[in-house]
Amino acid sequence: MRRVTSLRGIIAATVCVAASADPGGRALAGEGEDELLEVVTIIARHGDPLAVPGSSYVVTEAEMQALAYTDVHRLLQAAPGVYVKDEEGFGLFPNIGIRGASSGRSSKITVMEDGLPGAMAPYAAPASYVFPTAGRMRGIEVLKGPGTLRHGPFTVGGAINLLSTAIPDAPTGRMAAELGSFGGDKLHASYGGTAGQWGALLETYRKSSDGFARIDRVGGGTGHDLEEYVGKLRWSSADSARWSQQLELKFVQADETAQQSYVGLTDADFRRDPNRRYGLTALDRIDRVRSGGALRHVLELSDALRLSSSVYRWKNTRDFARLTQIEGEDITTFVNAANTDPRRQAVLAGADATSIQHQFNDRSFLAQGLQSELAAQFATGGLEHDLVAGVRVHEDSEDRLQPTDVYDQLDGRLVYRRTIPANASNNRIGEAQAVSAWLLDEVRLGRWRLTGALRHEDIRTAEQRYADVARTVPGLRVANSLSSLSAGAGATFALDERWSLLAGVYQGFAPPGSGATLGQRGEESLNSELGLRFRLGDFSIDAVGFFSDYTNALQNCTLANPCAGGIVDGTEQTGAAEVRGLEFLAEATLFAGSGFKVPARLSWTWTKGEVTRDSDTGNVLEGDNLPYLPEHVATASIGVERGRAALHAAAHYTAAQCADSLCRRAGIDNRFRRTESYLMVDLSASWQLSPRAELYARIENLLDEQRLVSRGAAGARTSMPRYFGAGLRIGF
């Protein structure tokens, strides 16, 4: 495997630098970052219960450092109303859902970085195989409710915004290095500052692991490597300028290799060794490259009028070489059938077999656009308005060319036989163009905060399939155009200085992808919420009930998240559905005094969902359950901080869930359709060596619980076993 260049040597050098740290140096956390934050956030004044038009959650930089998570699943596990589906233990393939919206490949949520689209092709190919690297971020925002209409195109569940490192206002550097289990290491470093009207930042994030799974007859080879580089350059107008302006350029280059597979284990093999991988998957590997960035311009026309405009462009490539068929059967069918068939089980274990197909999923994605927002503050009579009007012109595309190598398995080895060129089913170009417009008005009147929101999407998609590799013989072409107008309204009311009420209702929408045929609608829902908030110093409670009525439910069909009947391409209509739930979040400082501080947090989400109308195809029926929707998700965390020392612990529970929509049907064998409930306990400790150097150690999955957390595309999957890591953070 390619290894990040001399990373352990770099970490050793980092330790030497920290050992000589000047106790009088700059604080570890850095000082005085530029107020660009208010431009890129989607949640204004998140500590103010009246400032957000809907329920929200913010993962702060301090929280990210407390347990030193790098997996976006772990970072979001305390967010109420959010569900994650683990696939390989490291969060390399994020599966995130919000309020019942499907978690498969995070394809039903709006993913942003610094307030701009961050998915690889949100309209043409919503299933997000490429996700902004959470480990280099300084915060993550989760927004639900009517305010989601400002941040589309996916508004059925909610929006996630990842906040990148800001340019500091004074020369500041940071470095964090970690060594850990499974040959793991991590380096995150940045340096930047502002001089006069100019500011700049250089940043790198590098992470690798040998992996914890072992391949039959091969051994290791299940790790991953990531290298990411970020550059920012900012110009600000002079203080004497008539209008205050700011222009910032951001560029990101990322290169990642992961020797991962879609194939899990039969239940019997999982019980014996959850960290095993079949020899048939020895060639499975994904290579991903992400490059691009954004140019943002902010113009302050007055204290009450601001225009923000951005142009962005992202190019992603993904080459996933993976096992797709065994003896003429797709891997999902074969592995699931092996649970009860000794012959198939023997083939997985290494018995001779023919026609082992290994496909090269070579895909490239392009997403680019122009977005502009005008924010105005004004008063009409006794009403104070915060008005935001925006427009975005966007286009994206997916180009896939997928030839297939055919092998035989002889004496446990894969023997190459031939190559099948790409054909019309896996040789295609999908394109999408979209124009979006939105209007959000937040009105303040005494103890009331009222919100009205509108969003319009005009989308055109097309997909061309080819019958030959040279693409001179066009095959089937499908095209679609649709428009969607969504409206929403919300209100918060302050009962007194401590208690407030919130309520909201809005229409949700999700585009169907470039494979949609003429006349196919997007996913549509009517979402509502009703809640209560309490604030008293450091103590806060949020309790929000939600209800989502999906009048036209859709599922994006992928190999990792197949639709009913094993369909892995396009979009399938899955009838209508209802989701209801309750979110609860409590935060408090349990004790403060005598040099001690004990912060604590408890979050819990209860959810129920079911299909209320048969799908058009009849694959999904009224009364069916919704896949991967746990009834209970809860996280509790507590910290003890005194002087230079800190200890933090977190426990996360997810209830068992069904991997497809068939678990409730009479006569269905559920033994191989469900996951297991699981409890994960994490622990971290830190010691401040000096004002700018800190040592830390952490343990993930302290109890070493390896449960069946998902069934992936084909077979049982486990979480990461106990992980121990130790690292160093320095500021300079």
* pLDDT of 10: 41
Q: How many CB atoms lie within 10 A of CB 644?
A: 12
List, in order, residues 6 or more apart from 346 with CB less than 8 Å away. Answer: none
Q: Amino acid letter at 556? A: N
Confidence of residue 31 (pLDDT cuts 50, 70, 90): very low
pTM of the predicted model over 0.85: yes
Helices (DSSP H) in 366-509: which residue ranges?
Answer: none
Confidence of residue 26 (pLDDT cuts 50, 70, 90): very low
Q: Amino acid letter at 684? A: S
Please state which of the ranges 76-80, 129-133, 382-386, 483-487 shows the lowest mean pLDDT. 129-133
List, in order, residues 6 or more apart from 497 with CB less than 8 Å away. Answer: none
The answer to whether the CB of 486 falls within 8 A of the CB of 509 is yes
Domains of the chain: 7-731 (2.40.170.20)
Task: Provide mean pLDDT across the span 445-454.
Answer: 95
Confidence of residue 389 (pLDDT cuts 50, 70, 90): very high
pLDDT cut 90: percent of the chain above it: 83
Residue 470 buriedness (CB in 10 A; 0-12 / 13-18 / 19+): exposed
Determine the Cα–Cα distance for residues 671 and 661; give it in Å rounded to an integer.
14
Task: Provide mean pLDDT across the span 378-403.
Answer: 95
Partners of residue 730 on adjacent β-strands: 175, 693
Tens of pLDDT, residue by residue over 116-171, are: 999 999 999 988 677 899 999 999 999 999 999 999 999 999 999 999 999 999 99
Q: Please provide residue 295's backbone torsions phi and psi, each rounded to the nearest 5 degrees.
A: -115, 120
* pLDDT of 35: 47
Residue of 557, 592, 561 lying closest to 659 (CA atoms): 561
Strand 499-510 relative to strand 474-494: parallel, antiparallel, unpaired? Answer: antiparallel
Task: Classify each residue of 481-505 as buried b or exposed e, where b means 16 or more C-beta atoms within 10 Å of its C-beta.
Answer: ebebebebebbbebeeeeebebbbb
| Per-residue pLDDT at 33 exceeds 50 | no
Confidence of residue 14 (pLDDT cuts 50, 70, 90): very low
User: Quick one: how far is CA 174 from the chain centroid?
Assistant: 25
Determine the Cα–Cα distance for residues 220 and 24; give it in Å rounded to an integer.
46
Q: How many CB atoms lie within 10 A of CB 171?
A: 12
Max mean pLDDT among 26-30, 86-90, 482-486 falls in: 482-486
Dihedral angle computed from the Cα positions of residues 554, 560, 566 and 567, in that order, rounded to the nearest 10 degrees: 50
| Per-residue pLDDT at 6 exceeds 50 | no
* pLDDT of 557: 73
Tens of pLDDT, residue by residue over 66-83, are: 999 999 999 999 999 999
Task: Provide mean pLDDT across the span 340-360.
Answer: 97
List, in order, residues 6 or more apart from 577 with CB less than 8 Å away. Answer: 100, 550, 553, 609, 610, 611, 612, 626
CA atoms within 13 A on the CB side of 484: 27
Determine the Cα–Cα distance for residues 331 and 711; give it in Å rounded to an integer.
12
Please state which of the ranges 95-104, 553-562, 603-612, 721-730 shows the lowest mean pLDDT. 553-562
| Per-residue pLDDT at 459 exceeds 70 | yes
To which residue do tokens 């649709």 refer?
Answer: 482
List, in order, residues 6 or more apart from 456 with CB less than 8 Å away. Answer: 436, 437, 438, 483, 484, 485, 486
The mean pLDDT of the chain is: 91
Tens of pLDDT, residue by residue over 261-315, are: 999 999 999 999 999 999 999 999 999 999 999 999 999 999 999 999 999 999 9
Tens of pLDDT, residue by residue over 543-576, are: 999 999 999 988 777 766 677 666 666 677 889 9
Partners of residue 142 on adjacent β-strands: 57, 160
* pLDDT of 727: 98
Q: Please provide residue 537's backbone torsions phi and psi, each rounded to the nearest 5 degrees.
A: 60, -125
Confidence of residue 518 (pLDDT cuts 50, 70, 90): very high
| Per-residue pLDDT at 7 exceeds 80 | no
Determine the Cα–Cα distance for residues 102 and 76; give it in Å rounded to an integer.
16
Task: Provide mean pLDDT across the span 679-686.
Answer: 98
Task: Classify each residue of 224-254 as buried b or exposed e, where b means 16 or more C-beta atoms within 10 Å of its C-beta.
Answer: bbbbbebbbbbebbeeeeeebbbebebebeb
Determine the Cα–Cα distance for residues 551 and 525; give it in Å rounded to an integer.
6
Determine the Cα–Cα distance for residues 474 and 467; give it in Å rounded to an integer.
6
Task: Give all strands (DSSP E) within 144-197, no chain letters.
Answer: 159-163, 172-180, 184-195
Task: Provide mean pLDDT across the span 196-212.
Answer: 97
Confidence of residue 4 (pLDDT cuts 50, 70, 90): very low
Q: What is the DSSP letter of 29?
A: T
Q: Which residue has the higher pLDDT, 686 or 34?
A: 686
* pLDDT of 46: 65
Task: Classify each residue of 506-537 as buried b or exposed e, where b means 16 or more C-beta atoms within 10 Å of its C-beta.
Answer: bbbbbbbbbbbeeebbbbbbbbbbebebebee
Q: Which residue has the higher pLDDT, 514 or 49?
A: 514
Task: Provide mean pLDDT across the span 684-701.
Answer: 97
Determine the Cα–Cα distance for residues 261 and 534; give it in Å rounded to an integer.
46
Determine the Cα–Cα distance for residues 259 and 261; give it in Å rounded to an integer.
7
| Per-residue pLDDT at 36 exceeds 80 | no
* pLDDT of 385: 97
Task: Provide mean pLDDT across the span 486-512.
Answer: 96
Task: Provide mean pLDDT across the span 330-355.
Answer: 96
Task: Provide mean pLDDT across the span 84-104.
Answer: 93
Annotate 490-542 with DSSP letters as a single string: EEEEESSSSEEEEEEEEEEEE---TTPPTT---EEEEEEEEEEEEEETTEEEE
Determine the Cα–Cα distance for residues 128 and 114; give it in Å rounded to an integer.
17
Q: Please provide residue 16's backbone torsions phi and psi, each rounded to the nearest 5 degrees.
A: -65, -40
Confidence of residue 34 (pLDDT cuts 50, 70, 90): very low
| Secondary structure class of 654 (helix, strand, coil) | strand
HEC string of 80-121 equals CCEEECCCCCCCCCCCEEECCCCCHHHCCCEEEECCEECCCC
Q: What is the DSSP letter of 181?
A: T
| Per-residue pLDDT at 30 exceeds 50 | no
Count of residues for the chain? 732
* pLDDT of 13: 40
